[in-house]
Structure formats: structure tokens, C-alpha cells
Structure 1
Amino acid sequence: MDAELFPRSRGEIAPGAVHLPDWLDAGRQRELLAACREWACPPAGLRTVRTPGGGTMTARQVCLGLHWYPYGYARTVVDGDGAPVKPFPAWLGDLGRRAVADTLGTGAAADAAYDIALINFYDADARMGMHRDSDERTDAPVVSLSLGDTCVFRFGNTESRARPYTDLELCSGDLFVFGGPSRFAYHGVPRVHPGTGPPELGLTGRLNITLRVSGR
């Protein structure tokens, strides 16, 4: 649908799971994209993630603060070039707390000491299977920011990868936060719509910046 004809509004997808469209303005999106491009450069740059079964994820990833690999965290890129992980910037933690305050309230944001970022790059053919963010030692809310092409984001339940789940579109600048009863819900990206990002952003594909609290 035409977003200008049918404006998108805030939505609570499940208890503790909130979608806030257009949370990042155009200037903030450009700043985040520039930072992502810098973080993606080696060493400890963008990599293809290999699964325990020997397969590979179609979305490529770079980490800040701690390096995620299935299914744990390390201070070096243990499944890549072995370099130390790039530091997690304080301003990104501030952005995460503001995101939680704007969606779940200031109380939920008070103790959220964000120290990890997982940045996934999706080209037109990339997908992300249903999974839970459960390698952290905390239940602090997860913050998800979208840049570039629109994707179909599937948000499910806490019991299994099967239904019930809700499909919604995440566009460039959108914020999605999930915590509380939905913190360990299964979620994934079954589809990306190529060529749907704002042309002025200058990004081909989709970037997803996910902020977490490690509890470590």
C-alpha cells in the first residue's frame, strides 16, 4: 500500500513487542549507514556465518562489543579472521535505551546496559530462519533497527517456530522492540523486497542493527 495514502502507525504485535514506524529520520539513517559501512570493513568485518550443521546463513553479519557465533559469544572473531571484535560505541547504547523508552516506557529502559550489536546485511535473496535470541544472560529487551529495503518480518510465539505468528513489513527507519513476555519469541525474515529502500539513502539491500544486553 502507498504509505503516504495509508500512514503506518505504532503497533503492539504481542505483549512487550512494539513496532514504531519511521522512528529514525533521514539524517539518522544516513549516519547509521555510514557507521555500518565502517564497521563492515576488515579486520573483524562483515562475514558469512556458518551453522553447526555445515550450512551458511544467507544474511552476512558483523558484530560489535562481543562476537556472536552459533551458539555463544567471544571477544574475537573465532569463526572468521580471529581479530578482536570492534568496540560497542556508547552512543549506540544511548540509542537503544531511547528506543526502549519510546516503545516500552522509561522503566523498561532504566537498566538496559546495551553492549552488543549484531548487524545483518540482506541482499535480495537473503533470508533468516525462525530463531530465538537466547544466548544472552539477561532478559533485557532486544532493539531492532532497519535500513534500506523493506522486509517481511515474522514474529512468532515463545514455544515453537510454528504458528501462531504475525507477518509485518519493516521499512527503512523502522524500530521494533521486543521484551517482557515476548523477549524469547521466535522470529525471522522470510522475504526481502528488493529496490524498496529510499533512493536517497544510497543502500542496495537491507541492514538490520540489533542491539542486545549480554549480561556478561
Structure 2
Amino acid sequence: MDAELFRRSRTEIAPGAVHVPDWLDADQQRRLLEACRDWARPPAGLRTVRTPGGGTMTSRQVCLGWHWYPYGYAHTVVDGDGAPVKPFPEWLGELGGRAVRDTLGEPEAVYDIALINFYDADARMGMHRDSDEKSDAPVVSLSLGDTCVFRFGNTESRTRPYTDVELRSGDLFVFGGASRPAYHGVPRVHAGTAPSALGLTGRLNITLRVSGFEGG
């Protein structure tokens, strides 16, 4: 939105879960989008994720550093073209470390995984935990493009209580500590809300994690 009555402000959604609006400026968003477009190209590019029950996720995904598939990690795209996963760039890890420092004030962890999800207008993400890593370092989430409703829940179940947060292009959301195992999802994307200057139709979510794996 170009004009609002009240400026959006940093909010602690739950202990260890912080939303920072407009954390990435317009130039940073454009640079990150161009990087995502490069990463999305094959080999080991953007793919549709198939669940063990035979269904498919409505968002599409590309991974860096380690390849995620339900429910584990591999060095190659085992559920796709079989190519080696693309490397995780040092600059992206530095961005993740700065995000944690800016929100939680914690020492910077060594980020080595990125899961990049692309949502079109009809895509959703069900309530889930990020629990396939061996590290409990905070999860860093960056948004580009269309605004979404991000549902941040509790640590016990996929049901209430939860808080719906509007995430716009450039927003940062970090969750760690007591909130690290919280369920979360994306029940809605508001099509056509991306900044026109960005040149993106749809939504990209860049999620950074620390694997805790040996021999990476």
C-alpha cells in the first residue's frame, strides 16, 4: 500500500517469533528476486513437491545447500531430476545471520539451507513444523511479491490458538527459541498485491535454516 494511516511496526508475535515489516528495501528485493530466478532454472530447479500420500504441494520449490523432500534432506534432487543441489551462497548466510541479530539479538548461526517456495494466486501451505533439521537455530523467512496471510500457530497442534500475520514484499519473519517448533502455514495469497516496480507476479518465500548435519 502506498499510503496508510498507521505505519507498520516490528511486532513480537510470540516469544522468539518476530515480524519486521519492510526489512528489505526495494533494491535488496530486486537483487534477491534476480538470484531466485537464477536458482529456479534447471538443473535442480523449481519443482512440484509430491507428498508420500500421493498428493502434491500447491507451491513450487527449489532448494539450496541441502535438498529437502518429505521428510528429509539429500545432496541431490532425489524426487526430481536427480541433479546435485545448488550451493548455498555465503552472502545469503550472512543475510540470515543479520536477520537473527536484528530480531532476536542472538549470536549468528551458520545458515546452510534455503527452501524457496513460489506461490501463485491459488497456492497454499498447510500447517506444519520445520522439524527435519538437527539444529534448533532460528528459522529466517523473507517475503517477495504478493502479500500473504501467514498463520503462526502453537507448538502442540495445527489448530488454534494461532495468529494471522500479513506478510508483504520485503518483510522479515524470524522464529526461534520457544517458538522454533511452532506450527505455521499460508492459508491465503492476495494476488496482484506485489509492488509493481519489482516485476514479480506471485509470491516468493525464502526460508533459511541451519541443518546441524555433519559432513555437509
SS of 1:60's partner is: strand
**Alpha-carbon separation, structure 1, partners of 2:123 and 2:151:** 14
Please list, as runs of the form range in 1=range in 2, the aligned pairs for 1:6-45 lying within 5 A after superposition.
6-45=6-45
Q: Name 1:175's counterpart in structure 2.
A: 172
SS of 2:34's partner is: helix
1:2, distance to aligned residue in structure 2 (A): 6.9
Distance 1:28 1:2, change over 3 A: closer
Distance 1:146 1:91, change over 3 A: same
2:208 is the alignment partner of 1:215: no
SS of 1:34's partner is: helix
**Alpha-carbon separation, structure 1, partners of 2:56 and 2:121:** 16
Structure 1 residue ranges, 4+ long, deviating more than 4 angstroms after superposition: none
Letter of the 2:154 counterpart: N
Q: Name 2:153's counterpart in structure 1.
A: 156
Q: Name 2:203's counterpart in structure 1.
A: 206
Percent identity over the alignment is 85
What TM-score do you get using the length of structure 1 for normalisation?
A: 0.97
SS of 1:109's partner is: coil
1:47, distance to aligned residue in structure 2 (A): 0.1
**Alpha-carbon separation, structure 1, partners of 2:104 and 2:184:** 19
Please list, as runs of the form range in 1=range in 2, the aligned pairs for 1:1-216 lying within 5 A after superposition.
4-105=4-105, 108-110=106-108, 112-216=109-213
The gaps in structure 2 that reach 5 residues or longer are none
What TM-score do you get using the length of structure 2 for normalisation?
A: 0.97
SS of 1:6's partner is: coil
**Alpha-carbon separation, structure 2, partners of 1:49 and 1:109:** 33
SS of 2:38's partner is: helix
Distance 1:26 1:2, change over 3 A: closer
Letter of the 2:196 counterpart: P
1:6, distance to aligned residue in structure 2 (A): 1.8
1:7, distance to aligned residue in structure 2 (A): 0.9
1:4, distance to aligned residue in structure 2 (A): 2.9
Count of aligned residue pairs for this structure pair: 213
The gaps in structure 1 that reach 5 residues or longer are none
**RMSD (Å) for aligned C-alpha atoms:** 0.9
